[in-house]
Structure 1
């Protein structure tokens, strides 16, 4: 079930929102505001499931079995069906950037499978071009850089993944408004990981990062197979690598970063409650970690909520939160100047948090 909301603490909320962050795990449709979904459904005269209406949101979900995943996918598909034209695509990209800015994000890598929207927009190429164009505009208009991850789907044929990899490679770059990486998403239990290796080879040859999902719905064996086959720079989730000391050690030693999405893990039943999410163990083992929101539309929690959970439930203090934020930039494909500026501002944030304690100690003396 979704993570219960804690009583808001304005001082804490403001503190976490002020912390500079990079957001590396956010899906295009799943980034939508609920109000936007309702407006798009009305615009296109589509009926939404009750679970996506105000009274039933956020939906109760599970990904632990076929039936639970089918319900999750049905709701996701219902939301995706509301994205019909160019203005819809632009709105979602722009609002995702705006929402991230409001939560202290300086850099966003939004993930999309263009195939899902190709029918109404003339093919996968126009879809990606619209996303990239709006990402460039948002990066110019807002205090955030927006890059794009093109992701293939495990439920489609590996040849489709190769077509997407070639498209991604054609638009490859190293800054905002460009394709930065190539991913693999959807139900981890579907498809054969090694069969997607040729697609990742195409992307890697073009200089794109490798960012497949692994180690959420399946355990450490899935992580090992992905490390062997797809040479990832980051893993979407990867949390279940903790179930094997050897696999976790391999993740740490390889420097592969993990995009950990705590509220997603709980909502999909990977962990029963937030305190079971193994974020602390991953960090203590030396893993590179970047917190992400995954699909806020379905899980009801955005980026800052992941940091709040780490603080309130997993006992990460300000220094540990700053380390997580710094790690998110280190694991990103952001340009060097963006990462350097964020590193400086994270130091400033942490110093501002420690200063009151020092002043109080002097007053007591």
Structure 2
């Protein structure tokens, strides 16, 4: 569908996608197909592709996690894993993404394919293939879970370090995900030290379910390059200024913030406040399988709800590319493509005929 008059097409805006989870990237049709193939019964919410709207408490998170696990259980083979990577890359390429950092905890898939190393190698091999076939560079963020022991996180960090790089099919970052209210953040610091020594970006989740105090703890202990979400830092102007001055990036995912009940609607998500403070913001789709919208829809939110014009949307795309872990020649080329997008005249408004 062509863009409306006076607006450039957001699907052709070159950008990087830095916050997308492996299972949550799955197409609804693929989930249905895999469930049927492996003779698994899906919960009605997943079977009927309902959008999640959950309360911002542990009950809401438990329901989210239960649905996520039901979807993850449908990925049973190495071929299933490869399919998810290829389709995620194809979907992102169709939306203008030049670079995708796909986040995965290989622990869940290790028993299916012969261990942690095999699970990660399946994804990395698929990422290389997907990069060649779709034109969207696919790299990987290995993420530990707050629900598992910190020693497991260290093992994942050492594994991620073995495959560290900045090219397609390499590990570019190390994350920490799952319920922010669980686990002791400080106990994961050594895992991040291991990852950092290998040159990986530190990209833990923080500041979505919990407020500014938790963001400060994550920043002090894990020393992130980017924060997964981080939106609650807007509740403390002093903290937000500190993060902006330190160059910490924000992976902002409006649809998931609303779906998890953190904010009542997209207009309440403090993306504009972060931008006014000078933050580097990269929009992300997080888990489109559950929250119902992919990356371009987040840019549409920035345009239609936050009121950003095309120049500001181009700045968002530039920020995503600057925060991405990519080779500098690629970054420069893609930033030039953003400039070209903005330099191309928007579709003309229809002439008004006055009688």
Mark yes or no: TM-score above 0.5.
Answer: yes
Secondary structure in structure 2 of the residue aligned to 1:347: helix
Q: Is the 8 A contact 1:147 1:175 kept in 2?
A: yes
Residue number among 13, 33, 41 corresponding to 1:19 in the alignment: 13
Aligned partners of 1:176, 1:96: CA distance in 2, in Å? 14
Gaps of at least 5 residues in structure 2 are 351-355
Mapped pair 1:87 → 2:99: no
Change (3 A) 1:277 1:353: farther
> For residue 50 of structure 1, what is the aligned residue in structure 2?
44
Q: Is the 8 A contact 1:61 1:72 kept in 2?
A: no
Q: Is the 8 A contact 1:25 1:292 kept in 2?
A: yes
Number of equivalent positions:
351
Residue number among 99, 114, 119 corresponding to 1:107 in the alignment: 99
Q: Is the 8 A contact 2:3 2:347 kept in 1?
A: no
Q: Is the 8 A contact 2:5 2:347 kept in 1?
A: no
Shift of 1:354: 5.7
> For residue 40 of structure 1, what is the aligned residue in structure 2?
34
Residue number among 194, 197, 202 corresponding to 1:210 in the alignment: 202
> For residue 247 of structure 2, what is the aligned residue in structure 1?
255
Mapped pair 1:146 → 2:138: yes
Shift of 1:60: 3.0
Measured against aligned partners, the alpha-carbon deviations of 1:273-313 in whole angstroms (never above 9, x if no partner) come to 11101111100100010000000000000000000010011
> For residue 163 of structure 2, what is the aligned residue in structure 1?
171
> For residue 353 of structure 2, what is the aligned residue in structure 1?
none
Shift of 1:355: 8.8
Provide runs of 4+ in structure 1 moved above 4 Å.
Answer: 7-14, 354-357
Gaps of at least 5 residues in structure 1 are 1-6, 361-365
Secondary structure in structure 2 of the residue aligned to 1:146: strand
Residue number among 345, 349, 363 corresponding to 2:341 in the alignment: 349
Mapped pair 1:324 → 2:328: no
TM-score by length of 1: 0.93
Aligned partners of 1:307, 1:257: CA distance in 2, in Å? 17
Secondary structure in structure 2 of the residue aligned to 1:270: coil
> For residue 78 of structure 1, what is the aligned residue in structure 2?
70
TM-score by length of 2: 0.96
Residue number among 209, 212, 224 corresponding to 1:220 in the alignment: 212
Secondary structure in structure 2 of the residue aligned to 1:23: strand
Secondary structure in structure 2 of the residue aligned to 1:338: helix
Aligned partners of 2:325, 2:154: CA distance in 1, in Å? 22
Secondary structure in structure 2 of the residue aligned to 1:207: coil
> For residue 3 of structure 1, what is the aligned residue in structure 2?
none
> For residue 65 of structure 1, what is the aligned residue in structure 2?
57
Higher normalized helix content (fraction of residues): 1
Measured against aligned partners, the alpha-carbon deviations of 1:8-62 in whole angstroms (never above 9, x if no partner) come to 96568871001001000000000000000000001110000000013xx233332
Measured against aligned partners, the alpha-carbon deviations of 1:103-148 in whole angstroms (never above 9, x if no partner) come to 1111000000000111211111101000000101111122110000
